């Protein structure tokens, strides 16, 4: 199968590229490399992946790449992902996440490609009393990032109604694992692992009791492939663990890997960040036969080990 991944040089995208190549797909990566890294694609290039340097905000670049490659399926991951940046510059966030998605949908419509859109769960639902949160809960984002991703989802649904485009959206929990950049793509696990590597204490914004649904990148890739394997998949699917963990829980789990003091430094809570987030993954389990397999402790061990092999204790 011919498959395109926008944002394929990023943390999640590059793992998806590897997974598709292992399945024997013909893969094209579309990325502007503003946050994605060429190093993430080393194994993919050896596996025969095609790489196109293009910006999803530029409609002609997207159309040319899609029409030239003619993918049967497009995984759309290219996005502005930083919550704080979205608060500081919501227009830039919207141009990337909304206009970029429209450009991709227009190109997909021209060739009849199926679209699997990658969205956010944590930033989508906002602070809700229904936790774990199913897809049926009305999204009430607390930051422009969540709002722009919600708009992108609605465009996927609109193109399905208006043009018959085959599309589905996955809403991800807080993804962590190897290749996540502590200085680029947002992610508390990656940031804390960066502190481990630099022998620095971590900073917690707020009380540290705020909770998230931390899901390992390997489980996310399995979820995306499960959507691919179900051509009838439509609407939105939560992909997470269904279990909430606090920021303090992450600190406690990573502390044994520290070479020195790893007690957190507390700072004022930041605007746009929610207190509780955990995804109800029942629909993905029922309709796609998918469930998360990686325990948080094992996933953190794997991630810390990737970050700094020489300072990680032997398991057991």
Catalytic residue of the set 145, 176, 214, 237 = 145
Unique residue bearing structure tokens 């193109």: 159
145 is catalytic: yes
Contacts of 75 (CB under 8 A, 6+ apart): 3, 4, 5, 6, 8, 13, 16, 116, 118, 224
- List the catalytic residues: 145
């Amino acid at each position: 199968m011919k498959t395109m991944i926008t944002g394929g040089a990023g943390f999640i995208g590059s793992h998806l590229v590897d997974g598709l190549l292992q399945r024997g797909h013909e893969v094209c990566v579309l990325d502007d490399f503003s946050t994605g890294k060429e190093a993430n694609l080393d194994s993919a290039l050896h596996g025969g992946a095609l790489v196109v340097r293009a910006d999803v905000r530029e409609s002609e670049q997207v159309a040319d790449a899609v029409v030239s490659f003619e993918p049967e399926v497009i995984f759309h991951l290219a996005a502005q992902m930083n919550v704080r940046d979205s608060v500081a510059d919501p227009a830039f966030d919207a141009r990337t996440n909304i206009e970029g998605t429209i450009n991709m949908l227009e190109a997909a419509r021209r060739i009849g490609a199926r679209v699997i859109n990658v969205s956010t769960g944590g930033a989508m639902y906002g602070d809700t009393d229904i936790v774990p949160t199913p897809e049926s809960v009305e999204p009430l984002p607390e930051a422009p990032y969540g709002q722009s991703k919600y708009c992108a989802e609605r465009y996927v649904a609109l193109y399905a109604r208006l043009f018959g485009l085959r599309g589905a959206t996955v809403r991800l929990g807080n993804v962590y694992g190897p290749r996540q950049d502590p200085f680029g793509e947002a992610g508390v696990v990656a940031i804390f692992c960066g502190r481990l590597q630099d022998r620095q204490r971590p900073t917690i914004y707020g009380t540290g009791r705020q909770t998230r649904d931390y899901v390992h990148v390997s489980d996310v890739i399995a979820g995306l492939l499960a959507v691919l394997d179900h051509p009838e998949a439509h609407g939105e699917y939560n992909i997470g663990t269904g279990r909430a963990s606090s920021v303090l829980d992450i600190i406690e789990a990573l502390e044994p890997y520290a070479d020195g003091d790893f007690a957190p430094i507390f700072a004022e809570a930041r605007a746009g960040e929610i207190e509780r987030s955990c995804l109800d993954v029942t629909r993905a389990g029922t309709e796609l036969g998918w469930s998360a397999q990686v325990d948080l402790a094992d996933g953190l061990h794997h991630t810390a080990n990737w970050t700094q092999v020489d300072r990680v204790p032997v398991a057991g």
